[in-house]
Amino acid sequence: MQTLEEMLQMARGAMEKSYSPYSEFPVGAVIKAQSGKLYAGCNVENAAYPAGSCAEQGAISAMILGGDTKIQEMVVMGNGKQLVSPCGSCRQRIREFADPETVIHICDKNGVRKSMTLDELLPVSFGPENLKC
């Protein structure tokens, strides 16, 4: 079983590999899948800024590629005075693969700044079950 400290370490490493020459704002994300495997992602920008991909999106893609489909726990890491929480688009992406009680840790390089459930991060959300009549 992976620990939160291992997730934080992976998120720091992901931030260091971020390609963010336009915003100069590296972000790393790590997913602990239901299987216990860890998957990391970093933000990747391009010259058509702000088009690019978020760290959370990269971690979700890695998880799917790795054969997992369920987020058990997640770390999102970025530097700044304010909390670096997932953007709206990433909140919806996380919602696709997580339960309302899944814990998301908002962190900086020093560690966890705030932990909350997905339901707290994205209340009254729309998910796959909403499409079933």
Catalytic residues, by residue number, are: 56
Q: Is 22 left (phi over 0), alpha (psi -120 to 50) or beta?
A: alpha
Residue type (1 letter), 78: G
Nearest CA among 91, 76, 87, 90 for reference residue 123 = 91
CA-CA distance, 38 to 63, in Å (whole number)? 8
> Rounded to 5 degrees, what angle do the CA atoms 121, 12, 25 make?
70
Burial class for 104, CB neighbours closer than 10 Å (0-12, 13-18, 19+): buried
